[in-house]
Structure 1
Amino acid sequence: MRKLFTLAFFMLVNTLLFAQRAGYWQQAVDYKMDIDVDEEKYQYRGKMTLNYSNNSNQSLSKVYFHLYFNAFQPGSMMDYRLANISDPDSRMATNLGTKDNPKYQSRIATLTPAQIGYQKVDALTVNGKAATYKIDGTLLVVDLPQAIEAGSTARFEMQWTAQVPEQIRRSGRNSKEGVALSMAQWYPKMAHFDEFGWHLDEYIAREFVAPFGDFDVTIHLNKDYVIGGSGKLQNPLSVKGYHKKAKVIAEDGKATWHFKAENIHDFVWAADPNFTVDSAQSKGGVTVYTVFLPTNKEVKDNWKTALSLATEFFDYTSARFGAYPWPTYSIVQGGDGGMEYGTATLVTGGRNIKSLVGVIFHEAAHSWYQHLFGINETVDEWFDEGFTSYVQELAFQHLFEKKGALETNPVIDAYRAYYKLALSGKEEPMSLLADYYNSNYAYSNEAYNKGQVLAEQLGYIIGKENLQKTFLKFYDVWKLKHPTPNDFKRIAEEVSGINLKWYFNLFINTTRTIDYGVTSVNDQEILITNKSNFAMPIDLLVHYADGTKELFYIPLREMRGEKPAENFSMYEGVKRTVLEDWFWTKPTYSLKLEKKVAKVEIDPSQRLADIESSNNSYVQP
């Protein structure tokens, strides 16, 4: 009995230690949609029943929906952004000038009424009563006939009509690769409401945040088409492409497709009459579907190889970052590059095998950092894209390049891209809202590369084993919820016992850079200098003249703790000595040794993001 009590007490303490932030709550949405598609006009009619659960502590007299297709109209905010940013996405703008003197024109600006996208609400009731609403750009503003009280659920009934735009960004008709319909961000989607309020971002270019919920989606489409989408197809025997014994059931020339998905926060689909479907199952039981255009033998072979690697990806990532919780994942050709959605992705498919596997791994990795963890991509883009790129790179090196575990920095290319950004004069704080960067260059490198640097350098600070434990504990605490970067920081602090406020603050909220140097080595004395305004702990590997080595670890006072010894082979058999803390207020640090020094190296693992590494080592002449 005493053992049981002790175990129960330990589990309770452990749960409280890693619990969500006090008073945490999240809204819930359950969508049931019926969609009737006119593929010749690229239009559709939709009916939706939405059950919206208000789990907050306040009543809501107003709600909002996103109408993303409305961005694809001349005069939209997306249109103006493309015309005025210094380096618009080449998929969305045309250079009418020269390379040296560019003059960009938004592709949206030239769309005709038959080419634009739109979503028009025809009827809307809440709990059976008509609601007052207005369309404001890519947002639908709904004044409720009666407030949704805290702890209650409201039932929305909506009918809308829509036109699928020309393929401009992510969604649209007739992609460059010939996919007929790429239906991403295609339905009136309830905006996200949380402790920070409503998130009412106009669709400018970036991504989204949304509440979790269940989706029940029925699509009526020409019987010759094949659909790939989120969730699990409920009727594979009555539609084209998914089963050898299927017998297509059609009414008025249309087949009915029925998909269901639980606990996701977005739903995507794509359709084309020439799609082919393949599938395989991971060892962990995830059924992975590929839905693509088999244009030639090389394309078909590449997709077959990619499918096999994708199943391995889900097993590898589930072990390293937490179990994938859904039964299916669909990789569907469509869109204009790669974009993640609930249990599915749209990717361009006419790629070489390395590129195809890379984009699939990236979008599938978003199943963790954005879909398992409902990260607000409009606010913390680096937490979404950077951590996803980190997962992608580890998996790619392990599964595709067969490198196994690297002894040094596995994301060194991201570090190099970050260094280039930091020295370019174009870097902005990584805490900037995703749409507000002055250039796409800065956004891309901050989100995708500096975000990776933050993750790998965190391992340098707390130790690589503690980093691995942090990822798994973060999964246990925050899966299927909406964490913030501070929640990840708190988990890392609890796992490692190290204070990380200084690191997250300086690396995310400022553009300060790290720069250390070995200033002098005089026989048995070493002087190290912090040449920047960003203090870090230091691993210093000393090679003595007698052929032996010693690793000196210098913690930063602000850490209030120390990282454990790490099991890199370069440190095997090397004595590790922990020195006195280094103050961030003191620019130099000196070591007096008992033996003559031959060589000194700051951070041989290359995980310290030092923008000038040429002075990080010293060899005695």
Structure 2
Amino acid sequence: MNKFRQLKQELATPNVYRTASGAPGHEYYQQQANYDIKIELDDEKQTIHGKERITYINNSPDRLDYLWLQLDQNMRAQGSDSKLIQVERMEDFNTLAKVHSKMFVFDGGYKIDYIKATNGEDMDYAINKTMLRIDLKEPLQPGKSISFDLKWWYNINDRMKIGGRAGYEYFPEDENYLYTIAKFFPRMCVYNDVEGWQNKQFLGRGEFTLPFGDYNVEIKVPDDHVIAATGVLQNESQVLTSKQRERLAAAKKDFSKPTIIVTQEEATENEKTKSKKTKVWKFKAENVRDFAFASSRKFIWDVMPVKIEDKTTLAMSYYPKEGNPLWEKYSTEVVAHTLEVYSDHTIAYPYPVAISVHAAAIGMEYPMICFNYGRPEKDGTYPPRTKYGMMSVIIHEVGHNFFPMIINSDERQWTWMDEGLNTFLQYVAEQKWERNYPSRRGPAYMISDYMGGDKEYISPIMTNSESIWQFGNNAYGKPATALNILRETIMGRELFDHAFKVYANRWAFKHPTPADFFRTMEDASGVDLDWFWRGWFYSTDHVDIAMTDVKWFQMNTGNPQIEKQVEKNESERGSEFIGTQRNQADTNKTRLERKPALADYYNTQDPFAIESADNEDFEKLQGTLSQEDKDLLNSGMHFYELNFSNIGGLVMPLIIKAEFIDGSEEVIRIPAEIWRRHNFQVSKVLYFDKEVSAFILDPFLETADTDISNNSWPRKVEPTRFKMFKESRINENPMQRSKR
């Protein structure tokens, strides 16, 4: 089928909730869930006990007979689906450590003590793995709200032993814990016009689809702990020392650099105390879709204000001494940089704080707070991979405040809508941090190996999160690359940046779908991109466009003074043929040379001699031509017919660089629509006033072409360097090596 057919059957029909332009409709609605939560973190047993009151507001036009909540911690319960569905072979357990991991038993999952109405009556509920349904005695009518109470507890997982996006890390040197806590309370599912209840089970990969609401959270911890959390601290005077409050007040006025609020010396002293007393930290957050926090007596804390339009946000970092000197030098500066760049390309960052917390394991994001890795060596040195890896993960996780914490897409269904869009802007922010920043994703050439790989292990981007092959390439790398190509090659920066910003503003604090994104990008730019979405997002085609043939033409002027010489030059090329050379050497005399009488006009007349009839014919031709025609015939113009083959199936623009024999060059950009009637074979005639020495297709590596060996005329052979010796490996980073 034609690759330029419009996206109709793939996209939902526009309606009163979502328009054909990609904007929210005039009857768009979304639900709200407000939380009052009190929890206690037990630093002796590594457990969390909590109580919460949820107030759920039904803004939909529908009557709700039951409510669905997410129980994400149940992914760690014994017998959970996330363990059972893993494909395993015995070869996967080829070390004792892996066998121990397979046999490791952890009592995870929520222990629900009760769910009650606000009058104290028990509510009927049923748990289906990672989902909980509350059956209502009376349906919740449109425009009405309901409040109810839950009590629960669970064991916190050791992130270093069994992994996880949240949990704890134990430091045996000082016998302390660092907690990064998320998904710690039962949370409302989204109910909307697209999915109804989004109650797809959590299997570990498809992340969290959540409604917006207001949070009041009280967290009881040992009184030598320091807490970082979503929202604004409400009781500074009760949890911070007077010196720390003075530093914090000063920090809010110093835009030049981060200010230390809890010093390394104070954190080191806290590590020793191990207080048995407790204190309660109180936080308030408005219009957020989730809440997370980190707690430890090991935390150093620094703060720097950032001006975003007319609003000031506090960029913050919390990290143990094991993170220094890297974290003190870079973390908060990177947070501030991310807020500035993302705000330029989306909406002005609306929240009062943005926090980066150091943890040893993978990065993870929540509203206003994220957990990030990047730990130096014990001697304080670090390889460049650690430095740039840390900065990139901070940019990425802080960037998630915009996608999906504010532009609140359905992560359970479409990972790319937050990870891909965020990775695209991550690349933009990285390149604005430092020239030639070593970005891992973004440029087109970085995704070509993946796209040209075995299609059995490649999924379309438009695949549910849990079913994706090669998760990082599919959900992060390929969509980020697609957006980069749209910005640089298909649309241009001005059109793309405008449309992308329109999308962000239309769907800030709302629930967009892929169709809303696709439609908005077209609506705000005036560029038909259906062919692009279909090829990049709905298929596993790849880009491999070959320049199969180039033919060179010049116009016949009709002038015998010129054309006879051209004909002579062409005939002399035959003398280069090996057979012609050998015939000349092997033949003493031809028959004609032995019998001259056999010769006629054609044997005696020089075919390249100019005869009077040739001049007469030329004069007649000149009489029929205008001066414009004569100038064109005498211009010496060079015409080239270029033929292209679409081997990979994914249509793309043709970017052609012509290199001329005088050393100059010219770039011709042909839109992808050249393939609109002929999806697999096209040709194009180009003309120049000077001779071309070479043509190069995709000269700037901007289309993700998987095979550039067929992109040039004449063909180019690129050498590959190989080593004649084995490289000795020394276990030291460049900073350590420089000290030797």
| TM-score normalised per structure 2 | 0.70
- Show the counterpart of 2:683: 589
Matched, 1:370 2:404: yes
1:229/1:344 contact within 8 Å kept: yes
Q: Which is worse superposed, 595-604 or 210-219?
A: 595-604
> For residues 156-186 of structure 1, what are the alpha-carbon distances to aligned partners after superposition, in whole Å with 9 as ceiling and x for unaligned?
2222233323333112233579643221111
2:451/2:542 contact within 8 Å kept: no
Q: Unpaired runs of 5+ in structure 1?
A: 1-14, 88-93, 558-579
2:33/2:214 contact within 8 Å kept: yes
Matched, 1:539 2:539: no
2:413/2:464 contact within 8 Å kept: yes
- Show the counterpart of 2:332: 307
Matches within 5 A, 1:86-101: 96-97=93-94
Matches within 5 A, 1:181-260: 181-195=179-193, 196-206=195-205, 207-240=207-240, 244-245=244-245, 253-260=277-284
> For residues 188-232 of structure 1, what are the alpha-carbon distances to aligned partners after superposition, in whole Å with 9 as ceiling and x for unaligned?
011111122212232221211111111111111221211111111
> For residues 564-612 of structure 1, what are the alpha-carbon distances to aligned partners after superposition, in whole Å with 9 as ceiling and x for unaligned?
xxxxxxxxxxxxxxxx775344522221424432222323332212221
3-state DSSP of counterpart to 2:51? strand
Q: Which is worse superposed, 56-65 or 161-170?
A: 161-170
Residue in structure 2 matching 1:422, options 452, 461, 480? 452
| Matching residue's letter, 2:703 | L
- Show the counterpart of 1:396: 430
Equivalent-residue separation in structure 1 for 2:152 and 2:100 (angstroms): 28
Flag the 1:359–1:412 CA change in 2: closer, same or farther, 3 A: closer
- Show the counterpart of 1:528: 644
3-state DSSP of counterpart to 2:478? helix
- Show the counterpart of 1:292: 319
Equivalent-residue separation in structure 2 for 1:175 and 1:393 (angstroms): 33
Flag the 1:176–1:321 CA change in 2: closer, same or farther, 3 A: farther
Residue in structure 1 matching 2:465, options 413, 434, 437? 434
- Show the counterpart of 1:317: 342
Flag the 1:390–1:238 CA change in 2: closer, same or farther, 3 A: same
Flag the 1:584–1:342 CA change in 2: closer, same or farther, 3 A: farther
2:30/2:60 contact within 8 Å kept: yes
> For residues 346-387 of structure 1, what are the alpha-carbon distances to aligned partners after superposition, in whole Å with 9 as ceiling and x for unaligned?
123524332221111110111112112111122211221122
3-state DSSP of counterpart to 2:705? coil
2:444/2:702 contact within 8 Å kept: no
- Show the counterpart of 1:263: 287
Flag the 1:292–1:131 CA change in 2: closer, same or farther, 3 A: same
Q: Which is worse superposed, 122-131 or 344-353?
A: 122-131
Residue in structure 1 matching 2:53, options 49, 71, 96? 49
Flag the 1:158–1:497 CA change in 2: closer, same or farther, 3 A: same
- Show the counterpart of 1:613: 708
RMSD: 3.1
Higher strand share: 1
Flag the 1:277–1:171 CA change in 2: closer, same or farther, 3 A: same
Flag the 1:420–1:45 CA change in 2: closer, same or farther, 3 A: closer
3-state DSSP of counterpart to 1:75? coil
| TM-score normalised per structure 1 | 0.83
> For residues 409-467 of structure 1, what are the alpha-carbon distances to aligned partners after superposition, in whole Å with 9 as ceiling and x for unaligned?
99556642452353134111222211123x5xx11210111121121122222222211
Equivalent-residue separation in structure 1 for 2:119 and 2:444 (angstroms): 51
| Matching residue's letter, 1:110 | F
Equivalent-residue separation in structure 2 for 1:69 and 1:347 (angstroms): 21
Alpha-carbon deviation of 1:306?
2.0
> For residues 451-501 of structure 1, what are the alpha-carbon distances to aligned partners after superposition, in whole Å with 9 as ceiling and x for unaligned?
211211222222222111122111221111111222121121123212112
Alpha-carbon deviation of 1:258?
0.6
Q: Unpaired runs of 5+ in structure 2?
A: 1-18, 247-261, 263-269, 377-385, 553-638, 717-740
Matched, 1:120 2:112: yes
- Show the counterpart of 1:138: 130
- Show the counterpart of 2:373: 348
- Show the counterpart of 1:454: 482
Residue correspondences, number: 562
Equivalent-residue separation in structure 1 for 2:700 and 2:118 (angstroms): 59
Equivalent-residue separation in structure 1 for 2:546 and 2:26 (angstroms): 43
3-state DSSP of counterpart to 2:403? helix
Matched, 1:554 2:558: no
Equivalent-residue separation in structure 2 for 1:200 and 1:377 (angstroms): 12
1:474/1:488 contact within 8 Å kept: yes
3-state DSSP of counterpart to 2:307? coil
- Show the counterpart of 1:519: 548
1:373/1:478 contact within 8 Å kept: yes
3-state DSSP of counterpart to 2:497? helix
Matched, 1:387 2:421: yes
Equivalent-residue separation in structure 2 for 1:146 and 1:109 (angstroms): 46
2:239/2:281 contact within 8 Å kept: yes
Matched, 1:174 2:169: yes
Equivalent-residue separation in structure 1 for 2:538 and 2:171 (angstroms): 39
1:226/1:241 contact within 8 Å kept: no
Matches within 5 A, 1:459-470: 459=487, 460-470=489-499
Equivalent-residue separation in structure 1 for 2:35 and 2:510 (angstroms): 18
Alpha-carbon deviation of 1:77?
1.3
> For residues 262-310 of structure 1, what are the alpha-carbon distances to aligned partners after superposition, in whole Å with 9 as ceiling and x for unaligned?
1111111111112121111123222011111113xx7144333221232
| Matching residue's letter, 1:543 | E
Equivalent-residue separation in structure 1 for 2:707 and 2:524 (angstroms): 31
3-state DSSP of counterpart to 1:532? coil
Flag the 1:280–1:592 CA change in 2: closer, same or farther, 3 A: closer
Matched residues, percent identical?
26
3-state DSSP of counterpart to 1:283? strand
Matched, 1:478 2:507: yes
Flag the 1:70–1:458 CA change in 2: closer, same or farther, 3 A: same
Equivalent-residue separation in structure 1 for 2:68 and 2:444 (angstroms): 38
Residue in structure 2 matching 1:510, options 532, 539, 558? 539
Equivalent-residue separation in structure 2 for 1:388 and 1:419 (angstroms): 22
Matched, 1:278 2:372: no
1:72/1:108 contact within 8 Å kept: no
2:675/2:682 contact within 8 Å kept: no
Equivalent-residue separation in structure 2 for 1:303 and 1:123 (angstroms): 44
Q: Which is worse superposed, 323-332 or 302-311?
A: 302-311
Equivalent-residue separation in structure 1 for 2:412 and 2:100 (angstroms): 22
Flag the 1:28–1:585 CA change in 2: closer, same or farther, 3 A: same
Bigger radius of gyration among the two? 2
Equivalent-residue separation in structure 1 for 2:387 and 2:307 (angstroms): 23
